[in-house]
Amino acid sequence: MAVQFLDATAAQAPRLIAYPVNQDAIPAGIEQVLAEGARATRFSGKAGQIFEGFVERGGQVVRVVLAGIGKPDAADRPAAIERAGGGLAARFLTSGETALTFDVTGTGLSADDVAGLLLGARLRGWRYDAHRTTLTDEQKVSLADFAVIGAPDGAAAAWEREAALAEGIALTRELVTEPANVIYPETFVARCQERMAGSGLVVRVLDDLEMKALGMGALLGVAQGSERPARMLAIEWNGGVAGEKPMAFVGKGVTFDTGGISLKPGAGMEDMKWDMGGAGAVAGAMLALAGRKAKANVIGVCGLVENMPDSKAQRPGDVVTSMSGQTIEVINTDAEGRLVLCDALTWVQREYSPTAIVDLATLTGAIIAALGNEYAGVFSNDDDLAAKLDAAGKACGEKLWRFPMGTAYDKMIDSPIADMKNMGSRYAGSITAAQFLLRFVEKDGSGKATPWAHLDIAGMVWADKPGATWDKGATGYGVRLIDRYVRDNLES
């Protein structure tokens, strides 16, 4: 969707125009019939309210919409503004209207507010129809362009930053939405290479033979039941001080998860195409960082496999050797994501010596049982890193809830025949998964462990109902969180 910033005097009268309205401040300059109609329907400008009407202006009929953005001093003001933009995009996405103009004159909106309004509209207006061939005209997306009248100085530059974020989220949603016969390890890599060409990102790829030579027996053990070979994707952005060590983000990329020999129930298994949501978030975030030329050095790593129950698939009871040299008894082949991540964690530490690591993974159903679809879980060996992630999540609306870790949980994954098991009992499943990953966080010569956090995002990457800035389906969760963390902590 294209965005233009127009001068009020030069702008041609739009066919569809929206006025963001502060609470109890219906614009004085609009037609009386609109003002009276709004009041009659109890529209007052509260966040989320929308009123629509038609008037004649300059000899043509104009569709006018009032969109409530709440009180100017409200704590949730940025979210309310995004919600207004998203609500308008949802309302007119398939309406037959092709362009929507926002008139922000006299609203007091800042440059960042205007960018947030457009971001909400852009995100909620995203839809992926690549595989739909029988849509009627009434079902097809018609809304293609946005314009802004009366924007304050700096709004265009602010939007340029947010537009890069929107592009990253769009890539993540696209990867997560595509079916597993379209996106698998090789094509995930190819899609990223295509979308990242010319961005300034450096893309590296390890194939299965290279990973075997490096000793990645845990990751390759998951992949061995599939005809689709595994891949390790590394995406580098060097926008900071030359030579400074990067921050690392690592994503679980199980492009389809049957559970392997520990086969999942058939009902709902189609959802497992989005078990690569962590890798999708990392890829989208890297594209966003490059798009806005972030002044930071960041590495994104995606461990990509498909988990299938072939005759060559690993069995419950098998023992695999990870790149770190630690051995793992595979108790359940459906606890595969941690096997992928552990080798990815080892590789990124030995290859890049990052200042800190955050991994993102749709790792456990237990996190959904605990938090539903409202928060992602965060586990960390570093209080400062956990606090900064929490602050970033609150600032961008991608919320986190911290869970405990400790040796009592660690004992639950001890194995009688190997260094560890890949899962514990039915209790504390998300915590024991994090304890497993912690064993692959390495220490420097002084014994200090790399700051690390694990985000279990299983309940957040896919939505069964629309939200303020997404429709049913892929949400793009994680991209905004990573981007905000980088903005607030690596670029400030």
Of 207, 180, 204, 181, nearest to 192 by C-alpha is: 204
Our answer to whether residue 264 is catalytic in this structure is yes
Looking from the CA of 343 toward its CB, the CA atoms found within 13 Å total 35
Of 209, 221, 105, 115, nearest to 162 by C-alpha is: 115
CB 251 within 8 A of CB 447: no
Classified as helix, coil or strand, 470 is coil
For the chain, the farthest-separated pair of C-alpha atoms sits apart, in whole angstroms, at 83
Relative to beta strand 376-380, strand 452-456 is antiparallel
The DSSP output letter for 398 is: -
Dist. CA 455–CA 377, nearest whole Å: 6
In whole angstroms, how large is the CA radius of gyration of the chain? 24
Relative to beta strand 50-57, strand 60-70 is antiparallel
Dist. CA 12–CA 60, nearest whole Å: 12
What's phi and psi for 16, nearest 5 deg? Answer: -130, 120
Looking from the CA of 179 toward its CB, the CA atoms found within 13 Å total 7
Those residues whose C-beta lies under 8 Å from the C-beta of residue 252, and which sit 6 or more positions away, are 275, 276, 277, 278, 279, 303, 337, 340, 341, 359, 360, 361, 362, 363
User: Which position among 264, 295, 399, 402 bears the catalytic label?
Assistant: 264
Dist. CA 93–CA 123, nearest whole Å: 12
Those residues whose C-beta lies under 8 Å from the C-beta of residue 65, and which sit 6 or more positions away, are 16, 17, 18, 19, 50, 51, 52, 88, 91
CB 396 within 8 A of CB 479: no
What's phi and psi for 360, nearest 5 deg? Answer: -125, 130
Return the H-helix or E-strand segment holding 16: strand 16-22
Dist. CA 90–CA 68, nearest whole Å: 15
Dist. CA 351–CA 349, nearest whole Å: 6
Dist. CA 453–CA 441, nearest whole Å: 10
* Count of C-beta atoms within a 10 Å radius of residue 56: 9
**Residue for token pair 């909400």:** 120
User: Which position among 338, 388, 480, 487 bears the catalytic label?
Assistant: 338
Give the angle 94-169-249 at the CA atoms, nearest 5°: 165
> Helical H runs in 250-406?
277-291, 337-352, 365-371, 383-396
Dist. CA 476–CA 120, nearest whole Å: 13
Q: Which residues are catalytic?
A: 264, 338
